[in-house]
Amino acid sequence: MTQDTALYPFLRYKDAPAAIEFLCEAFGFAQLMNVPGEGGSVAHAELHLGPVIIMVGTGPDSASSQPPDDPRSVSQGLYLAISNVDEHCERVRAAGARIVRESEDTEYGSREYAAVDPGGYYWSFGTYRPAVE
């Protein structure tokens, strides 16, 4: 990989405007861009949390699904490194997200928790920061 490589996850929601509102209120994202689509949909939006940028848009009804009840069996999700895990978890809980793994210390030295957003996406937040040396 070269230094100019970057990763920008994208998520499609049945109700992208509501999802954007939730992601900003609960997780702390802020909007960088929002391009309206037809009928109140979102053609393309960009949100950021610090240096992390995700892209969001309206997708078909089949775009959302609920993850398994057991967080260890989730096959995909998003992980964001943050410093205030417990405070963030309480903010997310207060905003109505389903907490699927309470804040805990891991065997690899991270403090983490996990939540599911209204679109069924699995989000993990923790202090672990992978890095290329």
The DSSP H or E segment spanning 85 is: helix 85-94
Question: Domain containing 114 — which CATH number?
Answer: 3.10.180.10
Tell me phi and psi for residue 93, to 5 degrees.
Answer: -60, -45
CA-CA-CA-CA dihedral for 80, 71, 98, 88, to nearest 10: -30
Number of domains in the chain: 1
| Structural tokens at position 26 | 């609960």
Extended beta strands in 28-132, E state: 30-36, 42-49, 52-58, 78-81, 98-105, 111-116, 122-126
Widest Cα–Cα separation across the chain = 48
In a domain, 46, yes or no: yes
Residue 76: band (very low, low, confident or very high) from pLDDT cuts 50, 70, 90: confident
In a domain, 65, yes or no: no
**DSSP assignment letter at 131:** -
In a domain, 133, yes or no: no
In a domain, 45, yes or no: yes
Q: Percentage of the chain with pLDDT > 70?
A: 87
Region 115-124: mean pLDDT is 91
In a domain, 131, yes or no: no
In a domain, 2, yes or no: no
Q: Is the pLDDT of residue 35 over 70?
A: yes
Q: What is the per-residue pLDDT for 110? A: 95
When the pLDDT of each residue in the chain is averaged and rounded to a whole number, the result is: 89
Structural domain of 28: 10-59+76-126
The DSSP H or E segment spanning 20 is: helix 16-22
Cβ atoms of residues 102 and 89 within 8 Å:
yes
Q: Is the pLDDT of residue 2 over 60?
A: no
Region 3-16: mean pLDDT is 87
Question: Which pTM was predicted?
Answer: 0.85
Q: Is the pLDDT of residue 1 over 60?
A: no
In a domain, 4, yes or no: no
Those residues whose C-beta lies under 8 Å from the C-beta of residue 61, and which sit 6 or more positions away, are 14
Residue 72: band (very low, low, confident or very high) from pLDDT cuts 50, 70, 90: low
Q: Is the pLDDT of residue 59 over 90?
A: no
In a domain, 71, yes or no: no
Count other C-beta atoms under 10 Å from residue 77's C-beta: 16
Q: What is the per-residue pLDDT for 66? A: 62
